[in-house]
């Protein structure tokens, strides 16, 4: 079985992500633990662009969390 291609993960609303979204996305992509830095004392995080692999189980999990996933050859975009 071949390895999944890594793609750049993006968010529809840019690089500033609300804490609730960060929590859910990190539950799906464990490799994102270092990709979010809290902005001062706010409940928002700055996202550092990261490449990830995406499996069918991760797509299912994102769907269960009410995210939409748009996938092309180079990017994965999460919308909410």
Q: Can you give the pLDDT of all 80 residues of the chain as single tens digits? A: 556 799 999 999 899 999 999 999 999 999 999 999 999 878 999 999 999 999 999 999 999 999 999 999 999 999 99
pTM assigned to the model:
0.86
Query: Where along the chain do its domains lie?
Result: 7-79
For residues 74 and 10, the answer to whether their CB atoms sit within 8 Å is no
Quick one: angle between helices 19-28 and 56-64, nearest 10?
Answer: 150
């Amino acid at each position: 079985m071949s390895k999944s291609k890594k793609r750049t993960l993006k968010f529809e609303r840019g690089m500033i992500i609300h804490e609730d979204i960060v929590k859910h996305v990190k539950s799906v992509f464990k490799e994102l633990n270092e990709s979010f830095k809290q902005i001062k004392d706010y409940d928002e995080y700055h996202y550092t662009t990261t490449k990830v692999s995406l499996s069918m189980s991760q797509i299912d999990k994102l769907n269960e969390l009410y995210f939409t996933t748009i996938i092309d050859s180079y990017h994965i975009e999460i919308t909410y």
